[in-house]
C-alpha cells in the first residue's frame, strides 16, 4: 500500500497535487452515477493496491484489468481501471479477492465514455468465472514469459507488473540491471535505442552520474548523515564510494540511474534522473 503524504516543496507542486485531487473527485462523482453492470474480468499482473492523498479521510483501491467482458459482448482488451473508496482496513478484503490473473465476475458501475479510458467503480466480487474459455485462455497467456533478444545488449524478459523488459548487461567491469519501459503499444524500440546510446558512452555517463549525485547530495550527507566519528566527505570521496547498479530507460528518452550508496546514506539507494536530450536534472536518496 502507498500513502501519498509528501509535503510539496513549492507552489507548483501544491498546484499539481491539488489538480490531481480535483480530477480524482470529478472522476469519482461521474462513477457514482454510472450504470451498474456485471462484468467478467481478468485481473492484471499487479493485482490491487491502495493509496491516499494527504488530508483525505479515506483510501482508494485501484486495480488494472487486462481483459473484460460486459455481459455476453465480445472481450474488450482495453485496460479497465476499477476503483473503490473506503477505510484502509476495509479495503484489505477486496484487495485479497483481486489476485493477479484471476478471472472473476464482478458488480461495478461502468464509465466508458468516447475519447477516455474506461473506468469502473467496484462494488463486489460475485464469484470466480471458470466457464469463460476466452478470458481463461487470456489469463494463461498473460502468465507466459515474453523474451526479447537484442544482438548488442542481450536478453530481456517482460515484467508485466511494471510494463518493462528487464535484463542484465555489462557496464564497465560489472553486470548491472537494465529495464526498458514499453510504450503505449507494448514496444521497446525507442527505449532500446536510448539504452544503446547510453551503453556506447558508458565512461562518460558513469562520470556524469556520479559527479551529479555528489553535487546534489554531498551537502545532505555532510549535514545530516554523518556517523558520530565520521569526518565530512570531500566530493572526490563521495564519487569514489557510489556505483551504478541499474538503469531504467523510457520510450521518450527519460532515464533513471540507481546507485549503490556505498553506505553513505546507511544503505539507501541513490537515484539520479534525466534524459538523453536534456542531461541529468535530479538526484535523491530512496528506498
Residue 65, all three cell numbers: 484489468
Give the pairing of strands 279-286 and 269-275.
Answer: antiparallel
Rounded to 5 degrees, what angle do the CA atoms 208, 210, 211 make?
65
pTM of the model: 0.79
Mean pLDDT by 10 residues, the chain (287 residues): 35 59 89 97 95 86 96 95 94 94 97 94 93 95 95 95 95 96 91 96 97 97 91 96 97 96 94 96 92
Q: What is the structure's pLDDT at 4?
A: 32
* pLDDT tens readout for residues 42-55: 999 999 999 987 77
Cβ distance 261 to 267 under 8 Å? Answer: yes
Contacts of 61 (CB under 8 A, 6+ apart): 48, 49, 50, 83, 84, 85, 86, 91, 94, 95, 122
Q: How far apart are CA 159 and CA 187, in angstroms?
A: 13
| Domain boundaries, given as residue ranges, for the chain | 2-136, 147-286
Sheet of strand 174-181, all strands in order from the earlier edge strand to the far edge? 147-150, 154-159, 164-171, 174-181, 243-249, 254-260, 269-275, 279-286
Q: What is the structure's pLDDT at 16?
A: 63
**β partners of residue 43:** 65
Report the CATH fold assignment for 2-136: OB fold (Dihydrolipoamide Acetyltransferase, E2P) (2.40.50)
Q: What is the structure's pLDDT at 3?
A: 32
Amino acid at each position: 500500500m502507498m500513502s501519498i503524504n509528501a509535503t510539496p516543496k513549492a507552489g507548483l507542486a501544491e498546484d499539481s497535487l491539488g489538480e490531481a485531487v480535483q480530477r480524482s473527485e470529478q472522476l469519482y462523482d461521474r462513477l457514482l452515477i454510472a450504470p451498474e453492470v456485471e462484468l467478467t474480468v481478468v485481473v492484471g499482473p499487479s493485482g490491487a493496491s491502495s493509496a491516499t492523498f494527504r488530508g483525505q479521510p479515506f483510501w482508494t483501491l485501484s486495480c488494472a484489468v487486462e481483459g473484460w467482458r460486459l455481459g455476453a459482448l465480445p472481450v474488450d482488451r482495453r485496460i479497465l481501471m476499477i476503483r473503490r473508496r473506503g477505510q484502509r482496513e476495509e479495503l484489505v478484503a477486496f484487495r485479497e479477492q483481486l489476485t493477479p490473473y484471476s478471472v472473476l465476475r464482478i458488480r461495478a458501475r461502468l464509465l466508458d465514455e468516447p475519447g477516455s479510458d474506461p473506468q469502473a467503480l467496484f462494488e463486489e466480487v460475485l464469484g470466480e468465472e471458470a466457464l469463460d474459455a476466452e478470458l481463461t485462455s487470456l489469463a494463461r497467456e498473460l502468465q507466459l514469459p515474453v523474451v526479447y533478444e537484442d544482438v548488442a545488449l542481450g536478453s530481456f524478459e517482460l515484467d508485466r507488473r511494471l510494463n518493462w523488459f528487464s535484463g542484465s548487461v555489462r557496464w564497465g567491469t560489472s553486470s548491472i540491471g537494465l529495464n526498458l519501459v514499453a510504450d503505449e503499444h507494448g514496444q521497446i524500440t525507442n527505449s532500446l535505442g536510448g539504452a544503446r546510446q547510453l551503453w556506447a558512452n558508458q565512461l562518460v555517463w558513469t562520470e556524469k552520474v556520479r559527479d551529479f549525485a555528489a553535487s546534489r547530495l554531498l551537502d545532505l550527507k555532510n549535514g545530516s548523515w554523518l556517523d558520530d566519528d565520521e569526518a565530512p566527505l570531500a566530493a572526490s570521496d563521495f564519487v569514489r564510494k557510489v556505483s551504478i547498479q541499474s538503469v531504467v530507460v523510457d520510450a521518450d528518452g527519460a532515464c533513471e540511474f540507481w546507485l549503490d550508496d556505498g553506505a553513505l546514506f546507511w544503505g539507501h539507494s541513490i537515484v539520479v534522473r534525466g534524459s538523453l536530450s536534456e542531461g541529468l536534472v535530479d538526484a535523491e536518496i530512496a528506498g
